[in-house]
Amino acid sequence: MSLLSQNIAHFTNGMACMFFILVTIQLYKYKNRSHLMSFFFWEMLFFAFIELKNVIYLIDGIWENEYISNISLIIDMCTVPVTMMFMFELISPGWVTLPKTIGVMLPSVFFLFFYILFPYKILFSISLIYTCLLGTITLFIIFSASSKYDNYVKKNFSFNENMSISWIRYIITPLYIALFVWTTVIWNASWIGDAIYYLFIIIIWVFIYHYSLKHVILEVPSLLNPFAKKEEQPFSTNNQEQYENFPFAQKLDLYMENDCLYLNPKLTITDLATVIGTNRTYLSEYLNRQLNTTFYEYINAYRIKKACCLLISDEIRNLEDIAESCGFNSLSTFRRSFYKETGKTPMEYKKKHSYLLIH
């Protein structure tokens, strides 16, 4: 049984190694597309090296050699700061620079260097604790910053296809779990635990690769300080004061109702602000604080309203045509937005109101 579990672990390690090699090859043609893709390419190359070095465990006696095994494990720990930097670059394009990368990697490199010279177990334990602590801090920052990123998208764009990074919050949690699974495996020295870890990692990085390739990079303000909060000033909800504080408000309503600006699928808050004669910041403040909504939600509310009319009155057109006619870029976005706004799917809404009209 021990030999079988050992062979399974070596096999899954080989799978992980080949996976990262293939991803690296695939990313080579994208690495000049953006700073993010360039960093992703080098990260996957590094991960391929990390898995390739584990070939040494095929040599008899290496697994039992604590000194060599611990050096290999400390090298593995370097994947945590590298992954952290990739996610930071995803959330805040251009934030990651060579000096910052070196600075983040230095502690892990120092732990490796000192353990090679002074192979004390306490040094290895401190390195492991540091890595887990870094993973915990990264989890906290990613949840905070990615939420701010998505709010920025909603405040500035009427569409979010491949722009939202909500997926990163679903990815970082399994990665965090994988870190502690890996830590448990280290203390228990389990071949089966190794195999489970490798399979887990492959699945997670398949999703990261998929979403990263589709991601549309935006110029966003720095969002990596989880404690930074913008001070907000209250605004009156009185209609008369609303028009005094925001003289463009009435014009905005007229343009949206009469000119149907929301039908432009690529409409941005800057475009709308230009049309009504104000600036993006002032319009954003009006929507966020006065109407308690985001630009994305404000525009999509108009689109859903039009879609509801078409669903009831138009018996022939399919959902794809209706979605396109209302300014949506994709059917999936239309379905999600419609359900969020009405609590029903488009077909449920259509059936219900068709029944009411008949009866």
- The three-class DSSP label of residue 157 is strand
3-class SS string, 85-99: HHHHHHHCCCCCCHH
- Give the Cα separation of 203 and 143 in Å (integer): 21
- CA–centroid distance for 292 within its chain: 25
Which residues, other chains included, contact 276 with Cβ-Cβ below 8 Å and sequence gap of 6+? 248, 251, 252, 255, 283
**Cβ contact 47:25 at 8 Å:** no
- CA–centroid distance for 326 within its chain: 27
- Give the Cα separation of 229 and 274 in Å (integer): 28
Which residues, other chains included, contact 338 with Cβ-Cβ below 8 Å and sequence gap of 6+? 304, 307, 344, 345, 346, 349
Helices (H) and strands (E) in the chain, counts: 16, 0
Q: For the chain, 359 residues long, give each residue's pLDDT as a single digit of tens.
A: 477 877 888 888 899 999 999 999 999 999 898 999 999 999 999 999 999 988 887 777 776 788 988 898 899 999 999 999 999 999 998 888 999 999 999 999 999 999 999 999 999 999 999 999 999 999 999 999 999 999 888 889 888 888 889 999 989 988 888 887 777 767 666 677 788 888 989 999 999 999 999 998 887 777 776 555 554 444 444 444 444 567 788 888 888 888 889 999 889 999 999 998 888 888 988 898 888 899 999 999 999 999 988 888 866 578 888 888 899 988 888 888 888 888 888 888 888 766 544 44
- Give the Cα separation of 203 and 299 in Å (integer): 36
Residue 197, token pair as written in the block: 């870890």
- Give the Cα separation of 201 and 340 in Å (integer): 33
- Give the Cα separation of 146 and 90 in Å (integer): 9
**Whole-structure pTM value:** 0.81
Residue 65, token pair as written in the block: 């050699």
